[in-house]
Amino acid sequence: AKGQGKGRFSFFTPSLQADALNRLRLSSELAGVLESGQLRVYFQPIVELSTNNIFKAEALLRWIHPARGMISPMTFIPLAEETGHIIPIGEWVLHESVRWLKRWNQLSHGGFQISVNKSPIQFRSGDSADVLWVSHLKENGLSGRNLCVEITESLLLNTDETTSRKLFSFRDAGIQVSIDDFGTGYSSLSYLKKFDIDYLKIDQSFVRNMASDPSDYALCEAIVVMAHKLGLKVIAEGVETLEQRDLLLKIGCDFGQGYYFSRPIPGEELDSMLTQNSGY
């Protein structure tokens, strides 16, 4: 670090150095992570609030590291985006999802849907992979409607050619699209119409305080009203209490997802949950 005086900024503190080293190590381990068998896809049920039915789940990545334990996707996804490893990892998430989809779709008589997260990096890479996504669904007796892609608002603010083309080809294949973390970005609502979006996911930061903060409550309500007028369904994220669930049902929110219902769990666990209390 340069500069000597009081109040100077130090850019190279020991902890930053350790952090950089840590990132470097993780990045190199990411290269072999698929082969290592340390990645898991967990699934978190998305519950229809008016019926308690589970016809949807979100696929969420977990890295179970032999020395470091569970590494959060918030740590390793940004690294995987920087290094490009997110592309093969994303393909693997789809394949794991399709493996379970076959079973859960049969259990629910054709109505199951898994949501996968897709980062802008995955959109901006060439499109051959996305054609394969559609054929992979078909080969497994599934249709586009069995898959939903979760994207963030920022992707739609600066859409390049490739991104738009992919979004439209998803729509043509019947694959649905959710806006994740809705309300946290700099929204320009015109994109909701332009890209034929299917779901808005209210960000958990609004759901967290909706019982105590009238403006968060109003915000959730306004999102539901607007979405419904535009023909979109709403999923509330981060539902942790019965009170939140009841308020969401009261304002007409369609789906809830959160620890109140279930944490993200391995496919085997969701499978037994679905077979045990299936009201299908």
The number of C-alpha atoms within 13 Å of 267 and in the hemisphere containing its C-beta is 16
Position among 196, 240, 269, 271 found at the interface with Ca ion (CB under 5 A): 196
Residue 196 interacts with which of Ca ion, ligand C2E, none, CB < 5 to 8 Å by class: Ca ion
In the complex with ligand C2E, the residue whose CB is nearer, 127 or 240, is 240
Identify any residues that bridge with 37 across adjacent strands, giving them in sequence order: none
Work out whether 54 is an interface residue with ligand C2E (CB under 6 A): no
**Which residue number has the CB closest to ligand C2E?**
258
Assign 225 to helix, strand or coil.
Answer: helix
Give dist(CA 248, CA 72) in Å, integer.
28
Cα 209 off chain centre by:
21
- 20: tokens are 């950089």
Instruction: Tell me the closest approach of the beta carbon of residue 216 to ligand C2E, in angstroms.
Output: 15
Position among 127, 198, 221, 240 found at the interface with ligand C2E (CB under 6 A): 240
User: E strand or H helix at 163, and its extent?
Assistant: helix 161-173
Instruction: Tell me the closest approach of the beta carbon of residue 42 to ligand C2E, in angstroms.
Output: 7
Instruction: Tell me the closest approach of the beta carbon of residue 73 to ligand C2E, in angstroms.
Output: 3
> Euclidean distance between the first and final Cα of the chain, in Å?
63
Beta strands in 100-205 (DSSP E): 113-117, 147-152, 176-182, 199-202
Work out whether 180 is an interface residue with ligand C2E (CB under 6 A): yes
**What does the binding site for Ca ion look like in residue numbers (CB under 5 A)?**
117, 150, 180-181, 196, 198, 237
**What does the binding site for ligand C2E look like in residue numbers (CB under 6 A)?**
44, 59-61, 72-74, 77, 90, 93, 117-119, 150, 180-181, 204, 237-240, 258-259, 264
